[in-house]
Amino acid sequence: MDIVSLLILLLVAGVCGSIGQAIAGYSRGGCLVSIALGFIGAFLGVWLSRMLELPELFAVNIGGQRFPILWSIIGSALFVAVLGLLSRRQK
């Protein structure tokens, strides 16, 4: 994977994380948090889809790596929703 592919992958993960934050209604952090949420959401979403035996609906190929857009958004929205519930309970 070259540097351009890595930057595109980071951009796609950031957009997916931002959409997940918008769906969950929890928007703390900036660009780096959105990128991290995009990657965590991708891992969580793919794991969830495999456990439920669901197909990979929309994935892009970036530098030879497949990145699941839809499952990344769903996974990051679930992860952000859980984080939002946990942080509200601590107050």
Q: What's residue 18's pLDDT?
A: 87
Tokens of 26: 């929890």
Query: What pLDDT, in 10s, does the model give residues 1-40?
Result: 788 888 888 888 888 888 888 888 877 777 888 888 888 8
How many structural domains are present in the chain?
1
> pTM of the full predicted structure?
0.80
Please, which pLDDT band fits residue 88 given cuts at 50, 70 and 90? low
Could you tell me the residue range of the domain that residue 83 belongs to? 3-89
Contact 49, 71 (CB under 8 A): yes
To the nearest 10°, the Cα dihedral for 34, 40, 41, 43?
Answer: 150
Q: Residues near 75 by Cβ (< 8 Å), separated by ≥ 6?
A: 20, 40, 41, 42, 43, 44, 45, 46, 47, 48
Q: What's residue 20's pLDDT?
A: 86
Give the whole-number percent of the chain exceeding pLDDT 90: 2
Q: In sequence order, which ranges of 1-91 are alpha helices (DSSP H)?
A: 3-24, 31-51, 69-89
Residues constituting the chain: 91
Considering only residues 19 and 91, tell me which one the structure prediction assigns the higher pLDDT. 19
Tokens of 58: 């929309």
